[in-house]
């Protein structure tokens, strides 16, 4: 492992930790999940595991989709899979779902901000995209735009999650609208450029 990778690992891990913690708060808010967590929630009920564990399993399954797209994972890809879901479960273990709506909203807003900033920080480390983002990049290279590809992937995850019994609501809409702009600001501040080739 070269020095540049080692120097960027702290940024990667801080970003992944914030993502996992943020997701824990949005889930405990009980106001609706982001599209992928709707899938993770439904999948967790199907295989009877915690939602974070379902996220880890999903990450490895999605990674198989990189093979036909000729994508190669980097260290950030693997740490993404192993870290975010487990930190999500850990966060949910230590915080309780609030009873009052105002606190639920605070959980949702705080969690969404943490998640969005976390994405910008970890992606900005340049140590590899998460498995879902790698699929997005790979498919977009076949012709569709990044935007259209992301919408299609997220919509597919959402619809499948709903079919499996995943939780969704107004919080889902809030996160879909809010996360993009937060990531954009965060990535602009923390982007150090990729040091891997997809």
Going by pLDDT thresholds of 50, 70 and 90, the confidence category of residue 196 is low
Q: Is the pLDDT of residue 105 over 80?
A: yes
pLDDT, tens only, 67-79: 898 888 899 999 9
pLDDT at residue 145, rounded to an integer: 81
Instruction: List helix spans (H) across 30-145.
Output: 35-47, 51-64, 75-94, 101-124, 131-140
Given a cut of 70, is residue 94 above it in pLDDT? yes
CA 9 – CA 13 distance, rounded (Å): 6
How far apart (Å, rounded) are the C-alpha atoms in residues 10 and 76?
11
Which of 56, 116, 110 lies closest to 83 in space, CA to CA? 56
Range 176-185 average pLDDT: 86
115 vs 70 pLDDT, higher one: 115
pLDDT digits (tens, 9 = 90+) for 128-178: 888 988 888 788 788 888 678 878 888 899 999 999 999 999 999 999 888
What Cα–Cα distance (Å) separates residue 6 from each residue in 1, 89, 131? 7, 27, 21
Burial classification of residue 57, based on how many CB atoms lie within 10 Å of its CB (0-12 exposed, 13-18 middle, 19 or more buried): middle
For 18-73, the pLDDT digits (tens) are 999 999 999 999 999 999 999 999 999 999 999 999 999 999 999 999 889 888 88
Higher pLDDT, 162 or 193: 162
The closest of 194, 89, 86 to 133, measured between CA atoms, is 194
- Residue 13 region by backbone torsions, left for phi larger than 0, else alpha for psi between -120 and 50, else beta: alpha
């Amino acid at each position: 492992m070269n020095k540049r990778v080692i120097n960027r690992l702290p940024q990667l891990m801080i970003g992944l930790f914030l993502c996992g913690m943020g997701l824990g708060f949005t889930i405990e808010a009980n106001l609706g999940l982001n599209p992928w967590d709707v899938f993770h929630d439904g999948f967790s009920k199907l295989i009877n595991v915690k939602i974070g564990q379902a996220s880890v399993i999903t990450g490895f399954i999605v990674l198989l989709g990189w093979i036909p797209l000729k994508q190669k994972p980097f260290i950030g890809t693997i740490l993404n899979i192993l870290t975010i879901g487990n930190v999500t479960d850990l966060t949910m273990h230590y915080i309780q779902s609030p009873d009052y709506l105002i606190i639920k909203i605070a959980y949702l807003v705080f969690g969404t901000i943490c998640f969005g900033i976390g994405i910008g920080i970890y992606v900005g480390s340049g140590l590899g995209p998460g498995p879902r983002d790698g699929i997005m990049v790979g498919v977009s290279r076949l012709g569709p735009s990044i935007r259209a590809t992301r919408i299609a992937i997220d919509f597919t995850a959402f619809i499948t999650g709903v079919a499996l019994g995943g939780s969704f609501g107004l919080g889902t809409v809030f996160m879909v609208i809010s996360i993009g702009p937060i990531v954009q600001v965060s990535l602009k501040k923390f982007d150090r450029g990729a040091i891997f080739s997809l």
